[in-house]
Structure 1
Amino acid sequence: MEGETFSGLGSGATQADSKVIQSFQKNFVQVQSILDQNRLLINEINQNHESRIPDNLSRNVGLIRELNSNIRRVVDLYADLSTSLGRSVAASSEGTPLEP
């Protein structure tokens, strides 16, 4: 998704439309980055759990907290995306300019 642009805007796309799309892309890139980090955290948590080494198991406490924090960030980013999408749909149906 990074570096891609949305096609289908046609010649009717305004600068405000472009800003909204850029905002969506930015949020999706952030979400993907966090999800990639979560995948690494989950792998490390699993390895630590399987090792049954007390220090590794203790380390999992912090890793799980970080994972939970990341999940909250993803939820917040998706909530922002949902709000922005709702506003842009409402604005486009009313014929008013879109604001990011």
Structure 2
Amino acid sequence: MEEGSVVSNGGEEGSVLANAGVGAARVGGGGGGGGKVVQVLQRSFGEVQGILEQNRVLIQEISQNHEARDADGLTRNVALIRELNTNIARVVDLYANLSGSFSRSVTAAASANNNNTAVSSPSAAAAAAAKASKRPRASE
């Protein structure tokens, strides 16, 4: 993913996550869209990992500047802390979007599975009741 392209932009990543679970459910939980979900998750988590690595470097530089108490370094810390804050906000947005998309995907898959099950077979309770009514009773 390019720098500045965030999953919350409503682009391909969000729609793939939102729709892939439904496709997978229709195919019986097989590959029907799950591969795309995995790719999107890997890409998004890779972006998060890159941002967190960048934050680690920023924090090291901020710490060194603080310890040196150099006027230029302390002035530079203002910009570094702003960049760190922006990066943290990006990570929060990425995780929030991933969480929402994943939740929608799971809900859609569960709904599709429930619809397929309800149409193709009677409920377990109805089947058990029908079976019980056909058994001879011991007192008869």
Q: Above 0.5 in TM-score?
A: yes
TM-score by length of 1: 0.81
Q: Relative contact order (C-alpha < 8 Å, sep 6+): which is higher?
A: 1
Tell me whether 1:21 sits opposite 2:38 in the alignment.
Answer: yes
TM-score by length of 2: 0.58
Residue 59 of structure 2 aligns with which residue?
A: 42
Q: C-alpha separation between the residues in 2 aligned to 1:12 and 1:53?
A: 60
Residue 30 of structure 2 aligns with which residue?
A: 12
CA deviation profile, 1:40-63 (whole Å, cap 9, x unmatched): 000000000000000000000000
1:80-91 residue pairs with structure 2 within 5 A?
A: 80-91=97-108
Which of 77, 80, 89 is matched with 1:72 structurally? 89
Identity, in percent, stands at 58
Paired amino acid for 1:71: I
Residue 118 of structure 2 aligns with which residue?
A: none
CA deviation profile, 1:71-90 (whole Å, cap 9, x unmatched): 00000000111011101110
Which of 26, 49, 53 is matched with 2:70 structurally? 53
Q: C-alpha separation between the residues in 1 aligned to 2:57 and 2:95?
A: 21
Q: Which blocks of at least 5 consecutive residues in structure 1 are unaligned?
A: 1-10
Matched residue SS, 1:81: helix
Count of aligned pairs: 86
Paired amino acid for 2:78: V
| Offset at residue 95 of structure 1 (A) | 2.0
Q: Which blocks of at least 5 consecutive residues in structure 2 are unaligned?
A: 1-28, 114-140
Q: Which runs of 4+ in 1 moved over 4 A?
A: none
